[in-house]
Amino acid sequence: MWQERPLAFACAGDPLAAQYPHADNDIHAVAAVMSGGRMVLAAGGDEQGFAFWDLDSGELIRGARFDDPYLAAITEVRGEGPPLFVTATQYAEEILVWGPSAEAPLELVNELGRIACLTASHSLGSSLAAAGGMDEGVAVWELTAGEEVRMFDTDEKRVLAVSLTRLTGDPILVAGVEDEIQVWGLTDEHGDDPIRDPLTGHEDAVEAMDTAVVGERALAVSGGADATVRLWDLTTGTQLGDPLIGHKGRVDTVRTAILKGRHVALSAGRDGRINIWDLEALAQ
């Protein structure tokens, strides 16, 4: 059942808050993890720095300050492992790794400049985070050491969507590079070049993407500025079926999940709709 959950103002603890009695949360990006038996929601946006809350109570766990850098992107680190969030700031161009408590975040060295998208996973042999840049390439970090482990060049093309998954047991990075999807291997044997030709079909930029393994098939689900959602088999490099039509404008977000025991993808766009796609049926 859907519930409306008011969240305490993120900057409530800032001494400047008294000067802005009518200020409220300005949230454009969210992520969530389970920590200590409670759901922790992390969020921020174009005019608000990073903060997180107890979703059950709406209590502010870690607040923001009025002078914090605004948030450009956020992701949770998915899979079994310590609950962590990765954020990228709009103007300071910092990539930070946070635990859901008061300790200082870990800062990752960012050579990409402006960050457009983030993804992270505990499930690839080590905890990894990846980011796509607005101006140059894709980078991957190992989160325990906080060190960059791979950098891939995209010839100055924008990267607006990234995802980490496995293909035939090996970790891979999948990225939306302008209107194409590129796939890189993350083991040394694959080098710096994509492991296959670009996946093409979108008629405009790939704005959102996520991946899933359904049965033994590694799949990618992409959403585009062309208002379509598309399903790809990463083993064969082919699109599965026709474009999925259900949005009337740009698709901004795609996430895979398990719903009632089945693999699904959720897509959301500027038309205010959230569509749910049955990946198991579509991949047959």
Q: CA 175 to CA 196: how far, in whole Å? A: 13
Q: CA 158 to CA 135: how far, in whole Å? A: 6
Nearest residue to 151 (alpha-carbon basis) of 177, 173, 169: 173
Backbone angles phi, psi at 282, to 5 degrees: -70, -25
- In degrees, rounded to 5, the angle at the alpha carbon of residue 220 between the alpha carbons of residues 216 and 223 is 155
3-15 pLDDT, tens digit per residue, is 677 899 999 889 9
Q: Which CATH architecture has domain 24-198?
A: 7 Propeller (2.130)
pLDDT band (50, 70, 90) for residue 284: confident
115-161 pLDDT, tens digit per residue, is 999 999 999 999 999 999 987 799 999 998 999 999 999 998 999 99
Q: CA 128 to CA 164: how far, in whole Å? A: 8
In our burial notation (b when 16+ CB lie closer than 10 A, e otherwise), range 89-127 reads bbeebbbbbbbbeeeebbebebebeebbbbbbbbbbeeb
Can you give the pTM of this predicted structure? 0.92
Domain boundaries, the chain: 24-198, 205-284
